[in-house]
Amino acid sequence: MFKKILIANRGEIACRVIKTARRMGIKTVAVYSEADKDARHVELADEAVLIGPAPSRESYLVQDRIIEACRQTGAEAVHPGYGFLSENAEFSRRVEEAGIVFIGPKHGSIAAMGDKIASKALAAKAGVSTIPGWNDPIETPERAVEIAKGIGYPVMIKASAGGGGKGLRVARDDKEAFEGFSSCRNEARNSFGDDRVFIEKFVEEPRHIEIQVLGDGHGNCLYLWERECSIQRRHQKVIEEAPSPFLDDKVRKAMGEQAVALAKAVDYQSAGTVEFVVGKDKSFYFLEMNTRLQVEHPVTECITGLDLVEQMIRVAAGEKLAFKQKDIKREGWAIECRINAEDPFRNFLPSTGRLVKYRPPMQNMEAAQPVPDGGGVRVDTGVYEGGEIPMFYDSMIAKLIVHGRDRADAIARMREALNGFVIRGISSNIPFQAALLAHPRFMAGDFNTGFIAEQYPKGFTSASVAHDEPGFLLSLAAVSQRRVRERAATLTGQRRHREVRIREDFVVVLTDETGRRDQIPVKVRPQGPMFHVTIAGQTHEVAFEDNLRDIAVHGSFDGRPFCAQIERIGLGFRISHNGASLFARVFSPRQAELEALMPFKAPPDLSKVLLSPMPGLLVDVAVQPGQTVRAGEKLAAIEAMKMENILFAAQDCVVAEVLAGKGDSLAVDQVIMKFQ
């Protein structure tokens, strides 16, 4: 067994690998860029080596520096995590040639499966079901359109070296095929240095289901069941679960056996994933093989009880797998939510900056530790309160994983955990995740990869979520104000006859973006530790277990336990629960009467300016002062967190002034240009 390994990665996966290595008694070496000098993985590792500036192409992707860090520290092996160099066959080969062990498959296996065109041919030869398409590299957009028409729309245009949603477009007509080919090629060239593109048939109402495989260097290979990864947004996975609510045991076995056949065909020695697209008739086709650890590996760990990172290390050290296919258990149900630094209410634009507050929910499961009886909650992360979320890397803050007795129990645990996950200073997708978990079709297991696009065609807004108990959020706001008044009444030094008076009558005021007000009379009466709240003739019982200063609060509502987030902002309270959110101001009747006389401050007219919707790097300005622009035309492009976001004109206009130039670092809401 190795005495010391280097982790050629950052963030939560680097921290995850360190936990297993520590449990196995192996020392660890972290590598870091200048932007990550205070990162959590640097603190957790036994040693750390600076490998370059913030951009990944100058640090985490520089093979020579990582190999030199191994030599410098005496690391015997490298774990690549996922992303960066994890599926780079050249890196794997160079590591091996340097006398260092690559904790992953051999470079020949990576090369065979890393080329999506060659891998499809190899899969077909191994007896794996493959999808119809054109597997040779395509040279021009005109040829792409011709091929797409021959296959029949819709088609999927994919970069051969793509991954993580990059270098992938769905085209439904000639125009989309022409533009999608060019975009895929450019994105693939910039992200992977390989601009080969191929086209295949796009399966309607598809599910994305993947099989976890594990092989050793002694000819043994088996599958560890499947993961359901169909809840995706723009081809990026959002929620993953194991097992799949869609598969039956017959299909599950057939997919597993085909995945093993493919792995054996390339002499696969490590943990890997064979991805399939599954039709509504349960027909399945090979998509690709990921020759690395997956982001969503914890759900497989939960249902099998195996530590996949440990198995990768043991296989790399030359050990045999210590179990057979018949020994792989499948217990309970696991779900993972990816908690990302993005604003779901602004079309999921990246959100970078300082984590002013970071309070994950209570955990009783831990990476590299056995799953407790009855299940629980686990958080894999690489951040900490007060740390920075930089713009140079992906947007993941943490992975929230739950394990339950069955799917319904796992969903209930995940909803509760999301309600208790406090993140402030940057935006996160937690409200969106909570809304998805509460959606009737998700709860019924009735979804496919188009689910999010179908259910939220105009994007995700606060209006997209309705709370299933209308009086709940209002009651929490009213009781919170009553508790504030009770605390104020205990302050010493109050002037005689001017003491804070506690009353039972309140008015909850709700105001929308147009200034329209709703006034809801509420009565709050304490009764022991409980509050009786009367709204619209209905009385509810509310009790709190936490202090006023806590954002995540626990309590009971009409006898049922809850966890919600309550934050005092100015004169009001922001109440969030199960994806629904409400900003309410709570006044006395006289205060509400006077406040209604105050003028409403309308938001400024922003139709004459283009604002940066997020922090990022301005990589392109497509217009000049004096130029006439039509609605839908490209104005500029901003890059952040490895994604390029193109800004289009909302209406016909003339550019008056361009205030930012290519290469500028922009702040959120910074003016890029003005219009006449």
Which residue is associated with the tokens 């996950």?
421
CA distance 115 to 620: 30
Residue 345 DSSP symbol: G
DSSP 612-624: -SSSEEEEEE---
Structure tokens at 91: 């890196």
Buried b (16+ CB within 10 A) or exposed e, 253-292: eebbebbbebbebbebbbbbbbbbbbeeeeebbbbbbbbb
Structure tokens at 94: 């160079």
CA distance 247 to 649: 45
**Alpha-helical regions (H) of 421-469:** 430-438, 440-443, 451-455
CA distance 638 to 446: 36
CA 560 to chain centre: 30
Calculate the dihedral angle through the C-alpha atoms of 351, 357, 363, 369, rounding to the nearest 10 degrees. 70
Q: Are strands 580-587 and 572-577 parallel, antiparallel or unpaired?
A: antiparallel
Please tell me which residue in 288, 296, 301, 342 is annotated as part of the active site.
288
- Omega before residue 372 within 30° of 0, cis: no
CA distance 17 to 206: 33
Q: What value, to the nearest 5°, has the Cα angle with vertex 432 and ends 428 and 437? A: 130
**How big, in percent rounded to 5, are the helix, strand and coil portions of the chain?**
30, 35, 40
**Alpha-helical regions (H) of 563-636:** 589-595
Name the burial class of residue 125, with classes exposed (0-12), middle (13-18) and buried (19+) by CB atoms within 10 angstroms of its CB: exposed
Three-class SS of residue 436?
helix
Of 167, 117, 169, 115, the residue nearest 145 (C-alpha): 169
Structure tokens at 364: 């009783």
**Active-site residue 288, yes or no?**
yes
Q: What value, to the nearest 5°, has the Cα angle with vertex 125 and ends 119 and 128? A: 75
Q: Looking at the annotation, which residues are catalytic?
A: 288
